[in-house]
Amino acid sequence: MKRFTFAIFLLFLVFPFSCGFLNIAHRGDNENGKYAEHSWVAYDRAVGAHVDYLELDLQKTADNILVVSHDENMSRVFGIDKNIKDYPYQNLNIYINQNN
């Protein structure tokens, strides 16, 4: 048990400090809501800020197409109470294009 505890200690406490921290842009850099999350503008801003990684959240539609969305439901971003997994891409694309 002591070995396991020591390994966890090294992994989570010592390793990040010895290697430096990573700057990960989750959903891009939307400047506190000024730009749409997961948009090209938000990604460009994050890359311009020299982030190490862009973290993209993926959801699968009913017809197995991957879309970039943090939420499983579209209510927070689009005001539509629909789950992405329940609809084919073409149906969701209609809502997305109406909001651009």
pTM, two decimals, is 0.63
- Domain regions of the chain by residue span: 22-98
Mean pLDDT of the chain: 79
Average pLDDT over residues 38-52: 86
Q: Does residue 22 register a pLDDT over 80?
A: no
For residues 13 and 7, is the Cβ–Cβ distance under 8 A? no
CA distance 33 to 90: 27
Neighbours of 99 (CB within 10 A): 11
CA dist list (Å): 2 to 7, 8, 9, 16 = 9, 10, 10, 21
